[in-house]
Amino acid sequence: MKAGILIHDSIPYSRYMSRRLLIAANWKMNVVPTGALEKGSPYHPLSDIDIVVFPTFLDILECSTVGLMVGGQYGHPESQGAHTGDISMAILKNIGCRYVLCGHSERRASHGETDEFVAEQVAAALEVGLHPIVCIGETWEDRKKKKEKAKVEEQLSLLSLGSDLTIAYEPVWAISGGDPDKPAATADDSQQMHEFIRSLLPKDRQEQTRILYGGSMKPENAREFLNQEDIDGGLIGGASLDPKKFVEIVRIAEELLMS
């Protein structure tokens, strides 16, 4: 357990008392990993860590039926209407979702999702009782110009940060294995950004709001990222499709919790 202030004679304060670790598997446009639906698979909820999977819309129902904690990879801000190919927050909720991703960088880039749209999604999710995980993060261009903090501040500016939501900091250049021409994201850099993001939250939400890290998290680097004081879990793409890698990341998270 990390050292810190004493909240009781003998119980040292731990961030885990305010923020449960959350390990989220973003399966993107991929089929459900082999064995994931079976009893005892590593994608099932645990008592001490939140494990959430984000399957394709078609797979949500089956995942939720076998007891996985599920989320939608996207939800439209409007409750119904002429939006071909879209899905509403209420439909996600009704088929068993508890969470929804808002503003993933892939959707910002290929579906033109703006900060305004993402803020509307978050409001719509909260309205129906879905827990939004809002994805933010700078591009490599932003970082080269030392504008990474300005970028995440801008992305957060329209959100009602006093609400019950989770933030996922995902440097765009580090997602999907990163880019061989660019350095890998480091846990130290990410911790600095997480601390900065936390400082932007209303004072009374700073302690309990979870801030996940996302960007090529895998068994080899998970301990370093998850061990940072302001990193409260991971949003994991590629490695979450491999049950062996995923179970190892979950094991590392549990070990840190116990240490």
The residue sitting closest to ligand PEP, measured at its beta carbon, is 237
The span of 78-86, 88-96, 202-210, 214-222 binding ligand PEP (CB under 6 A) equals 214-222
Q: Name the DSSP letter for residue 76.
A: B
Binding of ligand PEP by 170 (CB under 6 A): yes
Tokens representing 11 are 């119980």
Q: Which of 104, 113, 138, 194 is catalytic?
A: 104
Annotated catalytic, 104? yes
Binding of ligand PEP by 217 (CB under 6 A): yes
Which one, 56 or 206, has the nearer CB to ligand PEP?
56
**Which residue in the set 13, 16, 228, 238 belongs to the binding site for ligand PEP (CB under 6 A)?**
238
Q: Which of 76, 113, 170, 194 is catalytic?
A: 170
Can you tell me the distance from the alpha carbon of 100 to that of 89, in angstroms, rounded to the nearest whole number? 8
Binding of ligand PEP by 214 (CB under 6 A): yes
Contact between 79 and 124 under an 8 Å Cβ cutoff? The reply is yes
Per-residue CA distances from 240 to 31, 88, 95, 100, 211 (Å): 12, 25, 22, 17, 18
Q: How far is CA 136 from the centre of its chain?
A: 10
Binding of ligand PEP by 176 (CB under 6 A): yes
Angle between helices 148-156 and 115-128 (to 10 degrees): 40
Tokens representing 55 are 């399957």
The most distant pair of C-alpha atoms in the chain lies apart, rounded to whole Å, by: 60
Binding of ligand PEP by 88 (CB under 6 A): no
Strands 131-136 and 166-169: parallel
Binding of ligand PEP by 216 (CB under 6 A): yes
Which one, 117 or 246, has the nearer CB to ligand PEP?
246
Stated as kind and residue range, the H or E segment containing 65 is: helix 57-65
- Restricted to residues 25-54, the positions that interact with ligand PEP (CB under 6 A) are 26
Binding of ligand PEP by 236 (CB under 6 A): yes
Annotated catalytic, 170? yes
Residues belonging to the active site: 104, 170
Which residues sit at the interface with ligand PEP, rule CB under 6 A? 26, 170, 175-176, 214-217, 235-239
